[in-house]
């Protein structure tokens, strides 16, 4: 990748405009950027239109950029044509190498070498995704958490193939548009946040499988307890406070040995069809039968209030 001054990013290509891509589109537009979206589905433009419309009042409440325009996007079905003239690419195709690899090859072949291509993949390896790409050193992971138009986190991974310049460009771009990028020093399947989430869910499933608690009470054990603290600080800082005036040093001396003992009893559940049915029924009970769109609406409204409260605090 060129070591010269990076080109200013004003136009972004969103390649793959399903739920994640449409959400990215809403956020990019709210930051005053122009978007060119592409997706093989004929219903993609309608999905983008609906998601941008639904998200716009929330985004305005969170402080959209001056001059931000929700209509400043266009659709181009051909991904190679969509990226033409764009300064950054956010790829959001389905989570399979056999889909993403040829798409990324087509995209990178159509771009100047200095344009960074970031994949929203939730767990694939960038070194494999960039195989056969033109200038693979500019292909990085830029993994958001759902929904991207509200959750600040973006995981940036360069692995063994991306250049430091490409990683730096991605981090600086995400930070400039109001995201909280973190950089992984090496690539691992699932990156960082999803591995932490998977570890917690594994134990949650184990507790249900062993009959320790219902699905509803497992969920409440997080949402009504440590999840509230985790919205403010991560697990290490939380345990630092658990150590009282002595902080993390006191926690390590007096509380960590007990926690290490719990580690040795953590489960590795086998998710049988019977356990799947139990989890599905439990989630239906937790959600009261509400549809996913209604649950997402409630979640997004609550997230907006939480983000506003954090900003004010």
> Which of the listed CATH numbers 3.40.50.300, 3.40.50.720, 3.20.20.140, 3.40.50.450 matches domain 11-184?
3.40.50.720
Residue in the structure block whose two tokens are 């072949």: 109
pLDDT confidence tier of residue 7, bands split at 50, 70 and 90: confident
Q: How far is residue 132's CA from residue 119's CA, in Å, rounded to a whole number?
A: 15
* pTM assigned to the model: 0.94
DSSP 97-151: HHHHHHHHHHHHHTS-TTSEEEE--SS--HHHHTTT-SSGGGEEEEEE-SSTTT-
pLDDT in tens, 39-58: 999 999 999 999 999 999 99
- Its CATH class, for the domain covering 193-312, is mainly alpha
Asked if pLDDT for residue 4 goes beyond 70, the answer is no
Main-chain phi, psi angles of 116, to 5 degrees? -80, 140
pLDDT in tens, 232-290: 999 999 999 999 999 999 999 999 999 999 999 999 999 999 999 999 999 999 999 89
Asked if pLDDT for residue 1 goes beyond 80, the answer is no
Predicted confidence at residue 313, as pLDDT, reads 78
CATH 1.10.1040.10 region(s) of the chain?
Answer: 193-312
Residue in the structure block whose two tokens are 């929330």: 58
pLDDT in tens, 196-219: 999 999 999 999 999 999 999 999
CATH 3.40.50.720 region(s) of the chain?
Answer: 11-184
């Amino acid at each position: 990748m060129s070591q010269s001054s990076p080109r200013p990013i004003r136009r972004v290509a969103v390649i793959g405009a399903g739920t994640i891509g449409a959400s990215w589109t809403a956020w990019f537009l709210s930051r005053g950027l122009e978007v060119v979206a592409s997706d093989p589905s004929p219903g993609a433009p309608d999905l983008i239109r609906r998601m941008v419309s639904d998200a716009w009042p929330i985004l305005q409440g969170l402080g959209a950029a001056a001059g931000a325009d929700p209509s400043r996007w266009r659709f181009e079905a051909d991904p190679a044509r969509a990226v033409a003239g764009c300064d950054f690419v956010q790829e959001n195709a389905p989570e399979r190498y056999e889909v993403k690899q040829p798409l990324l090859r087509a995209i990178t072949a159509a771009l100047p070498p200095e344009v960074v291509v970031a994949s929203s993949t939730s767990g694939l390896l960038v070194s494999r995704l960039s195989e056969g790409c033109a200038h693979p050193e500019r292909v990085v992971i830029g993994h958001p958490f759902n929904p991207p138009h509200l959750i600040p986190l973006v995981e940036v991974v360069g692995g063994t193939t991306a250049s430091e310049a490409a990683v730096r460009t991605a981090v600086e771009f995400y930070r400039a548009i109001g995201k909280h990028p973190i950089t992984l020093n090496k690539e691992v399947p699932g990156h960082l946040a999803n591995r932490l989430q998977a570890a917690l869910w594994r134990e949650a499933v184990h507790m249900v499988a062993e009959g320790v608690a219902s699905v509803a009470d497992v969920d409440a054990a997080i949402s009504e307890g440590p999840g509230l603290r985790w919205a403010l600080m991560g697990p290490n800082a939380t345990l630092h406070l658990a150590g009282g005036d002595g902080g993390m040093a006191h926690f390590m001396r007096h509380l960590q040995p007990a926690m290490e003992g719990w580690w040795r009893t953590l489960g590795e559940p086998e998710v049988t069809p019977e356990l799947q049915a139990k989890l599905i029924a439990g989630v239906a009970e937790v959600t009261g039968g509400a549809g996913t769109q209604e649950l997402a609406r409630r979640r997004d409204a609550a997230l907006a209030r939480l983000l506003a409260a954090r900003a004010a605090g």
